[in-house]
Structure 1
């Protein structure tokens, strides 16, 4: 007689409408950002931008995002994370098109500020929505959601390669991608917009719109900062590095971010198994060392193929650390999941958007290889801070 317990088979994730909606949101967020990142060399050439000027423009994008983080966190609580994500997605698509329509550097800077604000707002809101879906399903899915962001970014970067090969201007390219990507994502997201009702404020103390991590959670935020600075730099500077340092053409330069994003997707899809096997601390240490090795290969590369191997390793190294950061924040012993995630996101995604302008300023002073070396040092910082991502005594 069989002694096995007859348990119902777990329902596949893709059968859940809420899960599909969150996947669509993460994919669209990464896709539109990847589309922009893939055409940075075109903007650099069209406006005759120096590395320092490009850095200032990217600082405007970062400023828009950082300004939006605390506001998005508060609005997500008041409107509901799903509704806030859908609203941001609707506005994010035309913001991409506005970048290509800017007639001068000043208006390009203003458009980048708006683009960054909507990118950041959607990022905070969709992570809150993802945490609620993960809790409802009682399954670890955060790494998969972040994989979809990377997949979207890779597809966006790949569209840039094709657009350059076809001779499409950024305006035509951005409009086509905003319409196609936005329509596909909102088709899945719109029916679930009311799935996360606003949280009632039962406290007599008014909810804070702005909150930074403190205590151990601050160290978790520093891990996020170390990795997200590098992730943001890959988006905005990988193409420029390949074009200026390795010496490839504009179309080939777009392949760096595509390689980075592709390996990040594959690693995040298996991230849950890796964490279950090795634990979050060991996975973070190995990931940081892999990112360091990849950046070292990129810095010393003299051919496109070697550089792409380096970017692929960086994608593997960065892949699972940010999902681990959000999981740790959601299980913080001192703060509820919502405020904890929002506070860490403020630091982590602030780093993602501050990284590109910092790389630009360092590159202006000492060259792009030195600025990428700075990112390698930050990867080692994540290795040293890995123990703060421990979720419990057994990890």
Structure 2
């Protein structure tokens, strides 16, 4: 089969009998993925110490993790078109649930390279697949739920980091990894069997990996790239900016991303209702204006707390931009949702992987204030393409 052929269909019998479970099944996928992601973040300093490497060397290992994620994202399109997002999500979920145990047992630098590549691959593959399933549920139920699905991911990340911060101190890395795997595995066993089935009819044709030939999907991918670069810039450099520009202490500096992520998570749970009422395009445009305003003000803020408040405002806007982009990608006519989401996710996350190092280099010369102002202007490009978000409102076929 071709990765571009057709739009995924949902089996009517399954819709009638289990539709009420689909929303919570995909929420369970997002939560469990976020839970393990938040837990993995806490293992980074422990693994660095266990391997006996510097921050620079481990930075290269993080790059390997990112390359694994991008590789899996790029290969997911035809897998989703052939097997359906429910099966692909479940397959990658097994790795997400249990691979952290392998990470906790890894104490050799050379083994760490393939281990972290595979860790990134299972995270990246599940990310694309569960977003594709969320699109299928939106079509099935005829209403938005992508924003709150991403909200469940944020909630899972918070739960994973909160539990791990306490447990790791007393029990160690391996015990913590086992506990995370058990909790994530239980959540997945309860929820993932209820995922909506959106697979195409099975064929005997081989899976072919090729790029889509619809120009619009690359424009949507560019929107994802330009929208996710600012998010990565706040994640990686907000604390440094606040500390350097305002001579703030480390605690105060850390509030920048904390405020950004808190407002983003909160608004993601509210975003679906707003989008259902006002439509994807209007919600998208207002979100971009809010996000751009927050980033722009943060760039010339006269005081640390004004910059922190500006980052909080930016989080309000950023919250619903990427979920709407993903919904729009998954609803494009003439291209399978999984193929579209694979490309758009790959383009978007490549910005988070590559851009922070470039931003850090530029910020070291001109300061991070001007950088955030330029990033706000990048969102103007996304605003100019906002009419493409109308596909996110496509209802059940």
User: TM tier, shorter chain?
Assistant: 0.7 to 0.9
| 1:128 paired to 2:132 | yes
For 1:166-185, list aligned pairs within 5 A: 167=169, 171=173, 175=177, 178-179=180-181, 181-185=183-187
CA contact (8 A) 2:299 2:371 kept: no
- Matching residue within 135, 138, 143 for 1:139: 143
Question: Alpha carbons of 1:392 and 1:221: their partners in 2 closer, same or farther (altered >3 Å)?
Answer: closer
User: Deviation digits for residues 274-324 of structure 1, max 9, x if unmatched?
Assistant: 334544333323322322333345555687754543332232121111221
Could you tell me how far 1:146 is from its partner in structure 2? 1.9
For 1:374-393, list aligned pairs within 5 A: 375-391=375-391
Question: Alpha carbons of 1:331 and 1:155: their partners in 2 closer, same or farther (altered >3 Å)?
Answer: same
Could you tell me how far 1:326 is from its partner in structure 2? 2.1
2:322 corresponds to? 322
1:4 corresponds to? none
For 1:105-124, list aligned pairs within 5 A: 107-124=111-128
CA contact (8 A) 2:76 2:339 kept: no
- Matching residue within 182, 189, 192 for 2:191: 189
CA contact (8 A) 2:35 2:157 kept: yes
- Matching residue within 36, 52, 55 for 1:49: 55
2:201 corresponds to? 200
2:155 corresponds to? 151
Question: Alpha carbons of 1:78 and 1:15: their partners in 2 closer, same or farther (altered >3 Å)?
Answer: closer
Could you tell me how far 1:377 is from its partner in structure 2? 3.8
Question: Alpha carbons of 1:235 and 1:278: their partners in 2 closer, same or farther (altered >3 Å)?
Answer: same
Equivalents in 2 of 1:177, 1:235: separation in Å? 27
User: Deviation digits for residues 17-74 of structure 1, max 9, x if unmatched?
Assistant: 3322210111122232233446667777874324xx5654443222111111132232
Equivalents in 1 of 2:371, 2:44: separation in Å? 18
- Matching residue within 17, 20, 42 for 2:21: 17
Q: Which runs of 5+ in 2 are unaligned?
A: 1-17
More deviation in 381-390 or 117-126? 381-390
Could you tell me how far 1:342 is from its partner in structure 2? 2.8
CA contact (8 A) 1:41 1:239 kept: no
CA contact (8 A) 1:217 1:329 kept: yes
Could you tell me how far 1:176 is from its partner in structure 2? 6.0
Could you tell me how far 1:389 is from its partner in structure 2? 1.8
Count of aligned pairs between the two proteins: 374
Could you tell me how far 1:347 is from its partner in structure 2? 1.9
2:228 corresponds to? 228
Equivalents in 2 of 1:44, 1:243: separation in Å? 25
Could you tell me how far 1:135 is from its partner in structure 2? 2.3
SS at match of 1:200: coil
1:293 corresponds to? 293
Could you tell me how far 1:247 is from its partner in structure 2? 4.9
Equivalents in 1 of 2:114, 2:256: separation in Å? 27
Q: Which runs of 5+ in 1 are unaligned?
A: 1-13
| 1:350 paired to 2:354 | no
Could you tell me how far 1:222 is from its partner in structure 2? 0.9
Question: Alpha carbons of 1:31 and 1:69: their partners in 2 closer, same or farther (altered >3 Å)?
Answer: same
CA contact (8 A) 2:28 2:191 kept: yes
User: Deviation digits for residues 224-280 of structure 1, max 9, x if unmatched?
Assistant: 11112333444555566667776544x777655443333222212222333345443
TM-score between both structures, scaled by the size of structure 2: 0.76
